[in-house]
Amino acid sequence: EVQLVESGGGLVQPGGSLRLSCSASGFTFSSYAMHWVRQAPGKGLEYVSAISSNGGSTYYADSVKGRFTISRDNSKNTLYLQMSSLRAEDTAVYYCVKSLVGATYFDYWGQGTLVTVSS
């Protein structure tokens, strides 16, 4: 059974940093691109970042470019999102997401971890 378990969320002050982790199991983690999608309270889904299966290629939404860094450790089956210079508008539930082979359709989602940026 595919499982994605996020951790690392919490309350952080504006300008602060936080690192999210996503522990994956039930599939060959190193074979799949992985993604982060977020959802602000009461709002829709926003695509944040992606990383290729070997980590060699990454993508960032304009809203987080230069502030967030996605990475992965295939030996630990873990995905990361390092977030810095956090802003109030980064407050959201952050989902770790797996995509289908060869296409960025999201077939498995974690339960999400809440990041709250507030003083």
- The answer to whether 91 and 40 have CB atoms below 8 angstroms apart is yes
CB of 51 to another protein, least distance (A): 13
d(C-alpha 68, C-alpha 108), whole Å: 22
Touching another protein, residues 80-119 (CB under 8 A): 95, 100, 103-107, 109-112
- Strand, coil or helix: what is 111? coil
Q: Which is nearer to another protein, 9 or 14 (CB)?
A: 9
97-114 burial: b if 16+ Cβ within 10 Å, else e: bbbeeeeeeeebebebbe
Tokens linked to 36? 């982060």
CB of 119 to another protein, least distance (A): 26
- Strand, coil or helix: what is 102? coil
Touching another protein, residues 11-70 (CB under 8 A): 35, 44-47, 50, 59, 61
CB of 93 to another protein, least distance (A): 9
Point out which residues bind another protein (CB under 8 A): 35, 44-47, 50, 59, 61, 95, 100, 103-107, 109-112
